[in-house]
Structure 1
C-alpha cells in the first residue's frame, strides 16, 4: 500500500520533557513497501539469555503502570493528523487486576483538551521507557489483543535513544507491530531511518489465515534484533528479515540503544478517522512486555537420547500440538533446540510443552506457542535429566524404545536410559 503515513514527531503538549527524545518521533506511518518479503518461515529460537526488561502488569484493577518502568506522554499529534489526546496517569492506561495493561480509547473530552483541529474528540494513552530502559539488540516481544474498528491504530514500537540529539528519522524506528482498523487480519512491521521513513519505510505485513482477526484473541508480536539484522515474528512464525542490503545503500541506524513505546492512536493519515461503524470505547490489552539479551537468535543444537537418537519435531511441522519424538539425527531445524535462561526449550520458534499442563505419568509432550506457563519450563541438570518442575517428572522416551517415531512424554524420574539426554548448548 502507498498510504501517506508521516512521522508522529513530538506531541505538542508533553507532560514532561520526556527527555523529549521520548516523545519526538512517532509511529511514522508508512505501510510496507510493495514487494516486501511476506513469506512465513519458522522463527529462530530465542537466544539463551537473561531477561533484561519484563512487565507482567500485575496489580490491582485501576492502578497506574509502574512508573519505574514507564512514563506517560500527553498531548495531541498534528504530524499524523491523529484525533486523540493522550492523557496522564491512569485515565486511559490502567491495570485490569488480571495481569493486563489496558489502554483505552474513548470518545470523550472531560478535560476540555485542545487538539490541532480544535476541541479534541477522543482520549487515549501512550507510554514509553525513555530514561528508564533501553536495549541494543535482543529478543523484544509483547503479548497483546488489539482493538477493532475503523480508525483504530495500536502499536508496539521502538525509537533510537539519541532522538533528542539527531532527530527523527536519523534516530531510527523499529515498528514491531502496527495494526490499522480497516485491516483486521493484518499487522505490519517496519524500519524507518534516513531516506526510508514515512510511506517509504522498509517492511512487510503478516496476515492471519482463514479470515481470523487479531482483535479476537491474544497474539505474540516480536523482533529478534542483532547486528545488521532485524527479524519479525507473530506467534513464533517469522514473516520478514531485514538487513542493510534491503536499504539500497542508505544508512543502517539500528546498532545503538532504543527505547520501547506502546500506544493506541485514533485516526490519522494511515488508518483514516473513525466513522459511524466504529464502536467506543476500544482497548489495547497487553498481557506482558519482555526483552531478553542475545546478539543473535540462537541457532540451537541437538538433544540426543537413548540409542543416540535426536529429539525431533515430527515432520518439522510448526503447528501447535505437533508431536515430539525420537528420530535419526539429521541436522535439520526440527532437531535444533535452544535451552533458554527463561527455562524454555525451543525449536522452530516454539516451545517444548507438556500437553494440557498435565502432571501424570505418560502425559505426552508437544510443540506449542511459547506462553510462559509452567508446562513449558524445564531444567536440564548435570545428571542428564530434563525435568518439568511443575510435574517433578522427567522427559522420557515411551516404552524405553529408541525406534524412529517414539513419542516423548513425562514420567517419574527413574534414572533409566530412556530418560537420559545430552543437550548441545
Structure 2
C-alpha cells in the first residue's frame, strides 16, 4: 500500500525545482517475500555476537519465519508474538541493509504505522558499516525513529556516541502528536544527514537538529557509511516488559524505505502549541518553484490569507486540530505535509506569593544584593498600575547574585516541570533587553553555596524583552540540575538576576504569583459537554466519565506530573465511558479529554 492521495503515486522532489531528487535506494515492499538483495535477517537473542538480549535486556528471539515477517499488500510487517523459542518467551523480526545498502549522507525516510502496548519497542535506525572509530558507541548509532508502545503519541530521535560503555554519551529529542497516536495511521519519519548536521522530521515537520556542537567536544562519528535497521523488540530496559494489558501479536508495518541523495526537501514550519483564538502563520520551507499549494485546515480554523502560497495565516478556533498542505510539482502530483496543533492549557492565578500590597506568602532568607520593599512604582503602565513594588539592586561584585526565600506553597514541584503550574512575575529593569532571570527550587537543608547541584530540584527562566518598562513574564522550565530533592521536598526558592555576570542593574518586581491549571481548559464552544463528571476522584480501579450531551469522546489522555503522556485511548463514546486504570501507579495525574465538536477538558486526578 503505497502512500496514495487521489490514487496518485507519491514521489519526493528537489527544493529548487530545477530537477527532481535523486532516489539512490529504496524498497517499496510490493512483492510477497523480503528482498534478499536489499536486506538480511538478524536472528536469535544476540548471544552469538556477544550481545545477549541485544544489550538491552530484551525478551524476544528474532526469527526469519513468515510468522514474524510478512510482505503483503504493499507493506512489510514485522510481527511480535508471544511464543516460546529457545529460552525466550517472545518472537519477532529484525532486518538490516548491511553490505546491501550502505550510505554516507542524504535523506533517509520510511512511512510506517506503529504498534501500541506496554513493552513494545519498534525502531528505524542506523549503525556504522565499519567500526572505524571503535566498538559501540564510539563509531556511532543514529536512531531515526524509536517508539515506546505505552506512549503512542511520542517518537524519539537520538544520536549515540562517545567513549566505550559505561562512559558512552547520547543526545536526543522527542516529538509528540497531541491528537492521535502513531498507531492510528501511517506517518513519514525521516532524517536529512550532512557532513556535520542531522535533522529529524515527522510528516515533513522538522522537530530536531543536531550538529557537531551538540557533542560537547566528543568525536562526531557520523562521517562514515551507515546501514539501515528495522526491528520490533519486546521488553527491555527502556520500555519495560509487557504486562496483562499488552495484546499479541503486535505488528510494526512499513510502507516503504527510501534513500535520496538530495537534502532540503519541502517541510512545514509553525507553532505547534497555541492559545484558542490565536492568529498564527504556517510556512512551507524549501518550496520548489512553480509548485501548486493547497492548504487544508480544521473546521474551526479560519484562513485569513495565504491560500495557494508558502505562507498561511489562520485564526485558530477553540480546539486542537491538524494543519495540512498538499503540494503538486513537475516531479510529483501530490505530496502531503501535516502538523498537529494543540491548545495550551489555561492557567489561572492560585497563589499570590508577593505583591507588596498584602502580607507575602514567601519569607526572605538572604540576599547578595540590596532588597527594598514597598518602593513607589517607577513607571506605571497597563501591565502594572500598582502604587508599590519591590526593588532589588544586584551586586556588581558577585558573579552569582542570589535572592533567597522560604516557601511553603510548593506541594509538588513536578507540576512546574509539566507546566500545569507556573510562576509569573512583573518586572521593570534598566538591564539590557535579553537579560535572563533564573528561578531555582531547592531544599534549604541540602543546598549549600559550595555543593551545587546537591539540594537543587529544578530551574526556570525568563528573558526580558523590555527596558525601563513593566512587562509580565512567565517562567519556563529550564532543567533539573540534581536528583537529591523529591518533588515534595522543595522549601526554598531563589531568584538569580543576570546570573553568571558582574552587573549591578536595578530590578523592580511585583505580582509574583503561582498560576495553576484551570478545571476547564480551552472550552469555548457553546456545544461543550454539559455537566461533565469525572468520578471517583481519587480513583482505585476505574474512572467513570459522564456527560449530558450528544458529543462524542474522541480521545482520553493521561499525563504524569512531568508532562509525559502515559495513556491514550480512543473511546468514540457518547454520554458515558469507563476507563480501567487498575494497574496505574499511585500518584497525581492530569486527564485530558477531546470531543468531536472541538471542545476539550483537563483536570487533575489522584490514583490511590
TM-superposed CA distance for 1:238, in Å, is 0.8
- The residue that corresponds to 1:94 in the other structure is 70
Mapping for residues 164-183 of structure 1, pairs under 5 Å: 166-183=134-151
Separation in 1, partners of 2:74, 2:222? 32
Check conservation: 1:226, 1:296, Cα contact below 8 A: no
Change (3 A) 1:256 1:216: same
Preserved CA contact (<8 Å) 1:313 1:324: no
The equivalent residue for 1:69 is 38
Give the match's secondary structure for 2:58.
Answer: coil
Matched, 1:207 2:193: no
Q: What is the CA distance between 1:282 and its match in structure 2?
A: 0.4
Aligned residues: 281
In 2: Cα distance, 1:352 partner to 1:293 partner? 21
1:231-275 Cα distance to aligned partner (Å, 9 max, x none) = 001011110101111111111111111100000000000000000
**Contact 1:45/1:350 (CA < 8 Å) preserved in 2?**
no
List per-residue Cα deviations over 1:173-232 (Å, max 9, x = no partner).
11000001221110000011124988842110000022x111111111000111111000
Indicate the residue corresponding to 1:389 in structure 2.
none
- Distance in 2 separating the partners of 1:46 and 1:264: 34
Q: Retained in 2: the 8 A contact 1:161–1:171?
A: no
Report the equivalent of 1:26: none
Aligned pair 1:56/2:28, yes or no? yes
Equivalent in the alignment of 1:138: 106
Give the structure 1 partner of residue 408 of structure 2: none
Counterpart pick for 2:119 among 138, 147, 151: 151
Superposed CA RMSD in Å reads 3.4
How far is 1:303 from its partner? 3.2
In 1, the alpha carbon distance for the partners of 2:153 and 2:146 equals 12
Runs of 4+ in 1 over 3 A off after TM superposition: 44-48, 195-200, 295-304, 311-314, 317-327, 348-351
The 2-side partners of 1:221 and 1:190 are apart by 13
Give the TM-score normalised by the residue count of structure 2.
0.42
* Structure 1 counterpart of 2:216, from 245, 248, 261: 248
Q: 1:303: which partner in 2?
A: 289
- Cα offset, 1:160, TM superposition: 1.1
Q: 1:248 to 1:95 in 2, by over 3 A?
A: same
Bigger CA drift: 290-299 or 178-187? 290-299
1:367 shift after superposition: 7.2
Structure 1 residues 368 and 296, CA, compared in 2 at 3 Å: closer, same or farther? closer
Work out the CA distance in 2 between the residues paired with 1:142 and 1:264: 15
State the alpha-carbon separation in 2 of the partners of residues 334 and 226 from structure 1.
27
Name the structure 1 match of 2:92.
Answer: 124
- What TM-score, normalized by structure 1, do the two folds share? 0.59
- Give the gaps of 5 or more residues in structure 1: 1-43, 114-118, 305-310, 328-332, 336-347, 358-364, 371-425
